[in-house]
């Protein structure tokens, strides 16, 4: 009986140490999904709303894929992040931030000429930032770095 309780405590410690970030990611993805359901049931949706929802669902789908991949790695007792993935995230975040500044500059210039409400303009900018991050991350994940 003592052996079983020690085994269960070790298993619980292993899961809680490695899964804290994954549980947080799952909670965030669930909140976004619930927000989309509430947004859809509030009333009539315009074309911009539907496109925004599709892009957000794409981002949530990618997040779920990432989460499942990380959970599989934890169950196989592999490292969650190695040096290459940390370097890819660091490079991706710096370049996507730089490109996002240009995106917001374009939005501020074009914002007066389009007839979108302010909230939708901000929403489109945030979705654009997520897509820029995903595009840059995919580029470095596929291509890698020249010095390696």
Could you tell me the residue ranges of all domains in the chain? 1-80, 81-148
Rounded CA-CA distance 32/15 in Å is 25
Q: What letters, b where the CB count within 10 A reaches 16 and e where it falls short, cover 68-77?
A: eebbeebeee
- Residue identified by tokens 């991949």 is 69
Question: Within a 13 Å sphere around the CA of 12, how many CA atoms are in the beta-carbon half?
Answer: 6
pLDDT-derived band of residue 55, with 50, 70 and 90 as boundaries? confident
Residue 144: per-residue pLDDT: 79
Residue 11: per-residue pLDDT: 57
Which phi-psi region, left, alpha or beta, contains residue 77 (left: φ > 0; alpha: ψ -120 to 50)?
left
pLDDT-derived band of residue 95, with 50, 70 and 90 as boundaries? very high
CB 125 within 8 A of CB 53: no
Question: Within a 13 Å sphere around the CA of 38, how many CA atoms are in the beta-carbon half?
Answer: 6
Helix/strand/coil percent split, the chain, to 5: 80, 0, 20
């Amino acid at each position: 009986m003592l052996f079983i309780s020690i085994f269960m405590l070790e298993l619980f410690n292993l899961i809680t140490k490695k899964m804290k970030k994954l549980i947080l990611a799952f909670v965030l993805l669930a909140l976004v999904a619930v927000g989309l359901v509430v947004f859809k049931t509030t009333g009539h949706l315009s074309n911009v709303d539907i496109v925004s929802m599709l892009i957000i669902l794409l981002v949530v789908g990618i997040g779920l894929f990432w989460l499942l991949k990380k959970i599989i790695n934890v169950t196989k007792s592999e490292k969650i992040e190695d040096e290459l993935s940390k370097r890819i995230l660091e490079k991706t975040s710096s370049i996507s931030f730089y490109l996002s500044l240009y995106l917001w500059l374009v939005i501020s210039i074009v914002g007066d000429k389009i007839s979108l409400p302010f909230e939708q303009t901000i929403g489109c900018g945030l979705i654009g930032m997520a897509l820029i991050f995903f595009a840059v991350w995919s580029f470095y994940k596929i291509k890698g770095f020249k010095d390696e």
